[in-house]
Structure 1
Amino acid sequence: MDSPKQLIGVIDEPGPARNALAETIARDGLAVIAVDTPEALPAEVSLVVAHVRAVPGAQWAALCERLPTLVVSDSRAESGLLEAVDAGLVDYIVEPLRHGQLLRRMIRKVIKLRQLEEARRQDQERLEELNESLETHLAMLRLDQQAGGQIQRKLLPAKPQTVAGVTCDYWFAPWLYLSGDFLDFQRLDERHLLFYFADVSGHGASSAFVTVLLKYLTNRWQSEWDGTAPEALPPRWLADLNRELLDTGIGKHATLFVGVIDLERRYLHYSLGAQLPMPLLVADGEVTPLAGQGMPVGLFPGAEYPSLGCFLPENFRLWLCSDGVLECLPGDTLDMRLRELERRVLASETLEDLRASLALGQLASGDEAGSDAGIEALPDDLTIMLLSGFGNVDS
């Protein structure tokens, strides 16, 4: 059933012919109003059926632009028909009284097309409003992410810095604004240095929140340490963090390496949870992956982590990389990429050397204020940490 608002306007000279045309159109319940001229059409008219003789040739264009228009004529030979066709009418029909059913079908088709066009226009307006709202929300989200990234970078240690002859430097490049990678380097007491390297699953805000939790827990655990049994710190901290992540229920896990350097013994106490790639120790022209293995942190209740250790040579370089580095290396298999990383680490004296060999030299570090480093340039968060010593001069 047609809406009562769909009013059909008939334009024709007054007389029996116009009345007959209006009656023909109205037979199927269509609402019709008959007028003499286009100017007399009321505003609520949805479609016009105009006789070619009733509209001057110069007025067809304005009428067709104003309303969908069907033209009727008594003969194909009427002089004004071509002008109406050229003006852009919807269609025309000759001898409409003989073809009343066809005329009504044409009218209903035009009404239906007009309704569809109006619906499309309304949908387009709604879509534009939604797009505008989406752009506004995306802009707000981008600002929030950028602010969060600034806060996250503030939690990172100063770089480079040297403490008791051991230098820490790093390169931190989030995939977007916030990163699931995190690290720290600080002095525990006069004899011990603490550092850790974390790679939280995923990237973005939820992963970054875990790094903030890690920073908070580390500070708490450090304040609670009584200065004894440094070898027990790394595995205990990993077990505690595993329990904390499971208790939060956020579905995030992490790979971690936690190390405590005994400056007097020049010994590294460490523990790890599924670290990949393994830290690489370079000394005397050789590169050696640190030994050990452990379960991811935040996946398995009651997980225990190993207490491991090794002596550090006089001049050492210890490299730690998040798994994003594997995306920057050639090789068809994981083993091939790990071997390639060892080769490039061995050939690199500085952080800049390794970045250059990985073709990362043109990317700004994500820890630089206001930087959008990594956006659409890296397939994942990427962080590289380098510890070297013992003969460095303190900052």
Structure 2
Amino acid sequence: MNVSPKRLLLVVPGNQHPEHLQDLLEAEDWQVDQRSVMEAFPVSQCDQYQVIVIEPSIDGEAEVMRLLEHCPEYSSAVILPILRDPSPQGVVNLIRSGVVDVLLPPFTDHEFIETVNRVAGHKNLYLENLSYSDELEKTNRELRESLNILRMDQLAGRQVQKSLLPRSPLNYGEYEIAYRIIPSLYLSGDFVGFNVVLDRFVLFYLADVSGHGASSAFVTILLRFMLRRILNRHTNQNDIKALSRAPEGFMEYVNRQLIATGLEKHLTMFAGAIDLETSLLRYTVAAQMPMPIFVAGGDARFLPGKGKPIGFFEDTTWEVQEIALPKTFSLHVVSDGLLEALPGDTLKAKEAHLLDLVARKGESHDPLCEALGLNDIGEAADDISILSVFRRSSS
């Protein structure tokens, strides 16, 4: 391994020839350059020296101070003055100006060499810190640039994701559908969708993809195009029979497609379909928590149903539940991120609080969001979503 030579500059009065000091240093493998004090103005490339030993003449510390003031190049080297009868204030001034240590005669040969070797370590440490500082500054600059690029990409992705969400609210006859999504990051793993198909079927879903960020947001976009493909096929074929069975087979289709992507993502979902002619609600549940809340006649209750998350097992099936709808009702689906924002120490307490709020404020979407505290959430720990379906009878 190549070792950098130890180089030292010895600055002495013009009438002195400190051969003894030079012999001591060379015996310790130091390469010594010698200059008189006058010749030392200025010293070019003085950063090549690890130590500069200065032995001034009668004027002592004042002479060293003048040398430092007139030669700023010396600030990159370790200065070791040899001072005779210095004043305490003079030593303090030298230390404040960058001097690392001071030698006070008389001193032994061992003390001289030991002091030179010790202050040389300061130069090595200075160079290492300078190198680390440069590397850190470069790394921080690259990190800031990368974060800025990432932020711009995330903002662009957020705009794409928002453009794929439906307009809220949707009003169709006696029905109104509204939603609110509060992402924990720029991109959200929560997504909602709803459509009126063939003027008869109201289809809607809320999905919560595992994780956060771009990969989860990508799945929500994929989910949206899956649903669009299915709707286009049934609409173009005027397939009333298939739509009347919706959402039968929808979870299974999404499950197969998601596993095929290899993204190793899973999601929870609630999907529902309302037949406007028969006033029937058909729905499926894929590990949705909390369960959707159905409000009718002043009574609020969680809908029954269960099912595994989507994205784990290819052969999973989901059961379709069916209920007859009254003339007036509301249905509210929330993601599990809302539970973290609700009071209560247990899941049961949080669900009881949610059920009570929905029973009292669930007749309209905006008042319910306000009662749930969604208007006051600055930074959410997890994505929070709520999807509400209302039927208000005109008779």
TM-score normalised by length of structure 1:
0.88
Q: Is 2:278 aligned against 1:265?
A: yes
The one-character-per-residue Cα deviations of 1:158-193 (angstroms, maximum 9, x if unpaired) are 111212321111111111111111111111212211
Q: Is 1:215 aligned to 2:224, yes or no?
A: yes
Asked if the contact 1:167–1:392 (Cα under 8 Å) also holds between the matched residues in 2, the reply is: no
Q: 1:36 to 1:248 in 2, by over 3 A?
A: same
What's the secondary structure of 1:69's corresponding residue?
A: strand
Q: Secondary structure at the match of 2:337?
A: helix
8 A Cα contact 1:232 1:307, kept in partner: no
| TM-aligned CA deviation for residue 290 of structure 1 | 1.4
Work out whether residues 13 and 56 of structure 2, in 8 Å CA contact, stay in contact via their aligned partners in 1. Answer: no
* Distance in 1 between residues matched to 2:283 and 2:80, nearest whole Å: 86
Larger mean CA deviation between 57-66 and 266-275 belongs to 57-66
The Cα shift of 1:230 comes to 3.5
Instruction: Verify the 8 A CA contact 1:18 1:34 in the aligned structure 2.
Output: no
Q: Which amino acid aligns with 1:357?
A: A
Computed over aligned residues only, the root mean square deviation of the Cα atoms, in angstroms, reads 2.3
Higher mean C-alpha deviation, range 214-223 or range 16-25: 16-25
The answer as to whether partners of 1:230 and 1:269 remain within 8 angstroms in 2 is no
Q: Distance in 2 between matches of 1:81 and 1:34?
A: 28
Matched, 1:343 2:362: no
CA change 1:233–1:93 in 2 (3 A) is: same
Query: 1:49 and 1:229 mapped to 2: Cα distance?
Result: 94
1:93 positional shift: 3.0
Q: Residue by residue, what CA displacement relative to the aligned partner does 1:41-98 show, whole Å, maximum 9, x if unpaired?
A: 453333222224276643312445624222235xx5x4689745642233233446x6
* Structure 1 residue identity aligned to 2:94: A
CA-to-partner distance for each residue in 1:251-306, whole Å, 9 max, x for gaps?
11111111111101111111111111111111101012111111111112200000
Counterpart of 1:314 in structure 2 is 327
Change (3 A) 1:14 1:63: closer
Higher relative contact order, structure no. (Cα contacts within 8 Å, ≥ 6 residues apart): 1
Contact 2:191 2:208 in 1 (8 A): yes
* Runs of 5+ unmatched residues, structure 1: 364-373
Assess, with a 3 A threshold, how the Cα gap between structure 1 residues 315 and 48 changes in structure 2: closer, same or farther: same
- Which one of 70, 87, 97 corresponds to residue 94 of structure 2? 87
Task: Name which of 66, 71, 81 aligns with 1:71.
Answer: 81
Kindly state the Cα deviation for residue 199 of structure 1 after the two structures are TM-superposed: 0.9
Task: Identify the residue that residue 4 of structure 2 maps to in structure 1.
Answer: 3
Could you tell me which amino acid in structure 2 is paired with residue 331 of structure 1? G
In structure 2, C-alpha distance between the alignment counterparts of 1:185 and 1:79, rounded to whole Å:
87
2: CA distance, partners of 1:42 / 1:210 = 63
Corresponding residue for residue 333 of structure 1: 346
Q: Which residue of 2 aligns with 1:192?
A: 201
Partner of 2:368: 354
Percent identity over paired residues: 32
Distance 1:392 1:87, change over 3 A: farther
Counterparts of 1:235-384 in structure 2, within 5 Å, are 235-348=248-361, 349-363=363-377, 377-384=379-386
Q: What secondary structure sits across from 1:235 in the alignment?
A: coil
